Structure 1
Amino acid sequence: MTLLILGGTGDARRLAEALQGTDAIISLAGATRSPDKLPMPSRVGGFGGEQGFRDYLTQNSISAVLDATHPFADRITTRTARVCADIGMPYLQLLRPGWSAEPGDDWTEIACEEDAVDHIPVGATVFLGTGRQTLDRFANLEAREVICRQIDPPSDPFPFKGGRFLVGRPPFSVEDEMQLFLALGVDCLVVKNAGGAASRTKLTAANHLGIPVLMIARPPRGDWSIVDNVQSALEWVKAL
């Protein structure tokens, strides 16, 4: 049996560490230019669309797919689940729980990036913890100062006026985030409800500083098999 892990998250790394030495391959989309080395064979980049993905599964004798991509990688997840269902291949999504507000949090849930403008006054300083992939969806925030943090140095200019990139590689402690937000004069934090303890530090920092948060809601869950923790995913692999 050859297992294909779709990675790019901390959970995927933990799966790779637990499954090293087994017949498995981990695939990364290539969103980060210099990803940390993984303890199993890996590939980087897309598959070339749905047919390319189907061909890859066949050519590499893949027996099962474990999807540990980002909770907002819904197009990849939906396509993968559909292809696996079509060919009768075992498929599982590892979808970590989303964040829930805690005492002192000032969160407003929004459906999509374009809705943020309705909650941010003109002239405010906005910190985007959403990554660069959906940055163009915030173009209606032109009358604000927009700061987008990303891991790699930008290869293209900021896509709209009033914005700039900030390069930083996680992990970030709560203290790091508080100092950064104070130095930048952040008035509002915008994040996707990705879940995970490591990424929550920016939310804790916003709580301590009284900074309001716009929380982009997750895509709807699919009707395929889903677990919410690494141990359950490993048990699924063991049972194959």
Structure 2
Amino acid sequence: MPVSERPILILGGTAEAAKLAARLVSQGHRVISSLAGRTREPAILDGEVRIGGFGGARGLTGYIARENVSLLIDATHPFATQISDNALIAAASTKIPFVRLERPAWHARPGDNWTSVTSIEEAVSAIPARARVLLALGRQHIAPFSRRGDVHFVVRMIDPPEQPLDLVDFELELSKPGKVEDEAAFLAKRRLTHIVCRNSGGSASYTKIKAARELGLPVIIIDRPHRPVAHTLPDIESVGQFIDNTLGSFRA
């Protein structure tokens, strides 16, 4: 069977995954992008799209076999450890080529005032009393902050939460990150004193980090979990080269 008829499976949900799918489709590959389904109205992607979980590593292994997948790409969020672990197991079980696309982490620059922590729980404890904090986290990570009734939170999400947030003192902001000047104006208007976020990397959400630097605001940043470095590449170009070397049909 020609390579173009066997799908490449991208475990996606990131901007890099969407760009990679578009590039592969333009080269004649059949691409299936798999999304977790947490965003109610995901962006339109090139190629085929499936939404929802696989049912663990075993379910992903079965899906790869049924669809006769030619290559597996894990392009999920740097903190999506469970699906990444499942991807490693499924690739080993099915013996198909595998690569992880993981954008580089952010690094503190002159002017940044960062407190690095290793977990959500540490971030909760690191917030000073009476702070006004932007929580730039997914809705599944908000609950631990409910014990900080002495802090005012501004919670930014893309979609409204399905259940009321269990926070004592908060505002809900439904929006995406904007340009640096927009982020700075937002932080100033809400009189925010701190930001809590994860070290997600990438450019889309880095504007709040730049804005905090300009305003001199402290950032409590959650470090990435330790992940295996094998089979990991930092950008679309290097993943493209891997596909070219592996399948022999990726062209720039």
Shift of 1:224: 3.1
Shift of 1:22: 1.1
Tell me how far apart the structure 2 counterparts of residues 54 and 129 of structure 1 sit (CA, whole Å). Answer: 33
SS of 1:159's equivalent in the other structure is coil
Tell me how far apart the structure 1 counterparts of residues 136 and 19 of structure 2 sit (CA, whole Å). Answer: 23
Matches within 5 A, 1:108-187: 108-170=115-177, 172-187=178-193
Alignment-derived partner of residue 213 in structure 1? 219
Tell me how far apart the structure 2 counterparts of residues 85 and 224 of structure 1 sit (CA, whole Å). Answer: 13
* 2:35 aligns with one of 20, 23, 28: 28
> Structure 1 residue 9 and structure 2 residue 14: aligned?
yes
Tell me how far apart the structure 2 counterparts of residues 207 and 119 of structure 1 sit (CA, whole Å). Answer: 19
Shift of 1:223: 4.7
SS of 1:8's equivalent in the other structure is coil
2:7 maps to amino acid: T
Tell me how far apart the structure 1 counterparts of residues 150 and 157 of structure 2 sit (CA, whole Å). Answer: 22
Alignment-derived partner of residue 57 in structure 1? 64
Shift of 1:60: 1.1
SS of 1:84's equivalent in the other structure is helix
* 2:106 aligns with one of 99, 103, 127: 99
Shift of 1:162: 1.7
Preserved CA contact (<8 Å) 2:61 2:93? no
Alignment-derived partner of residue 69 in structure 1? 76
Preserved CA contact (<8 Å) 1:191 1:215? yes
Preserved CA contact (<8 Å) 1:7 1:67? yes
Tell me how far apart the structure 1 counterparts of residues 20 and 141 of structure 2 sit (CA, whole Å). Answer: 27
Tell me how far apart the structure 2 counterparts of residues 154 and 168 of structure 1 sit (CA, whole Å). Answer: 13
TM-score, normalization: structure 2? 0.90
Preserved CA contact (<8 Å) 1:154 1:165? no
* 1:229 aligns with one of 231, 235, 242: 235
Tell me how far apart the structure 2 counterparts of residues 224 and 84 of structure 1 sit (CA, whole Å). Answer: 13
Tell me how far apart the structure 2 counterparts of residues 135 and 108 of structure 1 sit (CA, whole Å). Answer: 19
Shift of 1:235: 1.2
How many residues align structurally? 239
Alignment-derived partner of residue 89 in structure 1? 96
Shift of 1:86: 2.4
SS of 1:133's equivalent in the other structure is helix
Q: CA RMSD in A?
A: 1.4
1:231 maps to amino acid: E
Tell me how far apart the structure 2 counterparts of residues 200 and 45 of structure 1 sit (CA, whole Å). Answer: 28
> Structure 1 residue 200 and structure 2 residue 206: aligned?
yes
Sequence identity (%): 38
* 1:48 aligns with one of 44, 49, 55: 55
Preserved CA contact (<8 Å) 2:7 2:68? yes
Shift of 1:190: 0.7
2:198 maps to amino acid: K
